[in-house]
Amino acid sequence: MARDKAETKARILTAVGKLLAESGFKSLGVNAIAREAGVDKVLIYRYFEGLPTLLQQFAQAGDYWLSMEALVGDESTIEAETLADWMTYLLLEFMGDLQERSITQEILRWELLEGNELTDELAQVRDQLALDSLKFLKGKGEFPVDQDVPAISAVLIAGVVYLTLRAKIHNTFMGIDFSAPQGWQRIETALASIIQSTMQ
């Protein structure tokens, strides 16, 4: 092994991501990380103090959500007019993006069992993104005065997250088949329909 502290640290951080994506947080221990990184585990203690600090550093290096910029990018290319259009667009983009992010999914799973450095960081960034989205939406039209838009968003996002996490383990939920694109299509349509009906 080349004597390169920086590279070794990088290998360790990379191993955390790989393990998370491939085997989930259950198998994320000091031994497994060292094994995956091809590094002696004592180096984890020497360079990162321990698992908590390692996770903290991993969290800060991470990129777990779409940024608002990436989400809306060039607004002119998006065909959305009303507030409801925009909200639908944001939610469906969010969902599609989440489906691709194995590590983020795994951290969200973890978050349902316990809090730690990683999940806290993720939650913070997520809440910020949600705040930004609401702010963005406010610029797209008046919120209906009789609706609690943040609460409605919370329910819908929670639903999307739950269905996404669950679909990785079980194919069906409430009779809907999530192994087929049609299943997801039905969810997308339902979300759009809910938003259009509710946000007018």
Partner DNA sequence: AACAAAAGTCACCGACCAGTGACAAACTAT
Partner DNA sequence: ATAGTTTGTCACTGGTCGGTGACTTTTGTT
Q: Where does this chain bind DNA (CB under 7 A)?
A: 1-5, 7-8, 27, 29-32, 39-43, 45-46, 50-51
Phi, psi dihedral angles at 173 (to 5 degrees): -150, 125
Name residues contacting a copy of itself, limited to 62-101 (CB under 8 A). Answer: none
Interface residue with a copy of itself among 68, 143, 165, 177 (CB under 8 A) is 165
Q: Which residue do the tokens 């809907």 mark? A: 176
Longest dimension (CA), the chain: 64
Q: Which of 10, 42, 113, 180 binds a copy of itself (CB under 8 A)?
A: 113
Segment interacting with a copy of itself, rule: CB under 8 A, options 1-9, 41-49, 69-77, 162-170: 162-170
Residue 145 binds to a copy of itself (criterion: CB under 8 A): no
Written as one string, the DSSP assignment of 103-152 is HHHHHHHHHTT---HHHHHHHHHHHHHHHHHHHHHHTTSPPPTTS-HHHH
Give 51-104 as a DSSP string.
Answer: HHHHHHHHHHH---S--HHHHHSSGGGS---SHHHHHHHHHHHHHHHHHH-HHH
State the nearest-atom distance from the C-beta of 72 to a copy of itself, in Å: 19
| Dist CA 81 CA 93 (whole Å) | 16
Q: Which is nearer to a copy of itself, 33 or 195 (CB)?
A: 195
162 is a contact residue toward a copy of itself (CB under 8 A) = yes
Q: Verify binding: residue 59, a copy of itself, rule CB under 8 A.
A: no
Please identify which residue in 31, 60, 179, 189 interacts with a copy of itself, judged by CB under 8 A.
189
Identify which of residues 3 and 170 has a Cβ nearer to a copy of itself in the complex: 170
Which residue in 52, 115, 135, 138 binds a copy of itself (CB under 8 A)?
115
Strand partners, 173: 176
| CA–CA distances in Å: residue 57 to residues 15, 17, 40 | 13, 12, 19
Write down the residue that tokens 């910020």 correspond to: 128
Q: Contact residues for a copy of itself (CB under 8 A)?
A: 24, 26, 109, 111-115, 123, 126-127, 130-131, 146-148, 150-163, 165-166, 169-170, 172-176, 186-187, 189-191, 193-194, 197-198, 200
